[in-house]
A = this chain, B = another copy of it.
């Protein structure tokens, strides 16, 4: 199969976009990606839309046709891809398959979600649809409550302390401060995090990814098409792994590891022919601080129970061993659910191109993004490589 390249990337700022509808956000990011690619929108043959909750929150399905129409390219193939909070990563995965199939040679992966115009109650209802409605949601669990169980289990099992885990939020905010697209571009202190209101004990408000609106888009194309564009730097989407796990926590043998991360990583790393030591910049799906820590372990960057040490030792910094969430992560860049997996790859592209400004990692060549749906019911791992 041919190789797949990311030739264009675009994204909106994440925030409360009360002046922009879902379609406008998606079109904004898409146009930026198309312009960045230096192609005409008429070169796009298919659109893969990552989105979780447009039906429930906006009363709108059929986003493929809607966004193709709004972009002025009705006729192209287009559909929506849903895998809860991993919808964006899954859209990238399906776009990757589409180019690899040889049926399409230039496609758009666009993630979009709009959460801030609904009531908090409606958003809570929308998000728990990532878990099992009949066995878990009906019992009264919210999504944050499930993650709180994971947090407790992790601390109990490994003797880790909340002040060490909560550092993830401080880390993310430090980097978001230099990211013009971040929802919360300002630092927070550990003290502020630990003293913020509890959401579901032990999770504090500032350990939780915020609700936001946003859209990110990537133009993916075949090698032949990419070479014709004559770019100085080419970014290859060198591997894309998608795996599921048992949907509900109560059926899993261990709350402190996500089996889908291990599996998706194995698949993606094999496709890309890389190992853990090759990774120069990393994006993990830290919807809650403790999940960020667990992801570092499941991806192989730390031993089980010791992911928090990387944080404490500064190894996640831009000049550390494994620079992580260098544009602010879910906590501070933001987490517009179905767009997040695309934002993560967007942020890696920014790093690999050397355009990350104050957050620039020194000369990165390989980037990895891990995007999680539910509490690991789905995980997508995408691997990008800089090639000349």
Instruction: Please list the residues of chain A having a beta carbon within 8 angstroms of any beta carbon in chain B.
Output: 1, 21, 46, 52-53, 55-56, 58-66, 68-69, 74-84, 87, 90, 93-94, 96-98, 100-104, 125-126, 129-134, 137, 240-248, 251, 259-260, 263, 271, 373-374, 377-378
Contact = CB atoms under 8 A, between A and B. Distances in A.
Contacts of A69: 244, 246-248, 251, 377
B65 A245 contact: yes
A72 to B, nearest CB: 10
A65 B374 contact: yes
A187 B244 CA distance: 45
Count copies of this chain in the complex. 2
A252 B100 CA distance: 33
Contact of A242 (B77, B96, B263): B77
B125 A373 contact: no
B244 A75 contact: yes
Contacts of A60: 129, 132-134
A66 B82 CA distance: 12
Most buried by B among A65, A137, A259: A65
A103 B100 contact: yes
Given A76-B244, A79-B94, A61 B52 contact: yes
B79 A83 contact: yes
Contacts of A131: 62
B83 A1 contact: no
Given A59-B129, A65-B83, A79-B81, 5 more contacts: A61-B84, A64-B244, A65-B247, A65-B377, A80-B81
Contacts of A242: 46, 77-79
A131 B66 CA distance: 8
